[in-house]
Structure 1
């Protein structure tokens, strides 16, 4: 029976090790997928901003010379606004959502129960100044 217990324990350890390895591999894959999606999204949004600024200026100038310095300034303001919003989101997440507004944000850290969670209110509130 002792031999069976040792074998049984060894099997349990091997199963646990296999589960941990599988979980780590899945987590690594998810992180890589997220990174690829984030990079592609960033390139896509940046490309759209460049195209929007260019087409706005070319439309306003009605075929005339496009002022590159003004075009660059407009694009720089767009990038500055995006970076500013990211800093706001990071600060709000740490200083507000994980502090005084935890009772609302906590739903984001639990398994989802339905299509919406109380934390979704933050997306709506932060969309107003972004628009």
Structure 2
């Protein structure tokens, strides 16, 4: 058995030498591994967005006023990636299995985080044989 973590094996496949079934199996494993990685990123980006302050100091050059402005960027990025994930064929299948609906990307960050359990998104060794 060859795993992607086994550097000594370093197996590289030529798709022309694989049967259609074997090629499909390997491509599917690669796609699922990639999708799980993207969803782990979403999980940790949500944690980051929760830790960021709700407001940032701001200086308005036109009025000369100094005050606070909403810090929407971290939350916006999480929502954008969550929307993109719902549009991705592979990630949306995983998210649907986790109970996501089309409205979930717009839910509070706590809800998004609760619906991305890391135990279901752990990287698995890529088994080639």
TM-score range, shorter chain: 0.3 to 0.5
Greater relative contact order structure (CA < 8 Å, 6+ sep): 2
Between structures 1 and 2, the one with greater helix share: 1
Report the TM-score, using the length of structure 2 for normalisation: 0.32
Report the TM-score, using the length of structure 1 for normalisation: 0.32
- Larger radius of gyration between Structure 1 and Structure 2: 1
Between structures 1 and 2, the one with greater strand share: 2
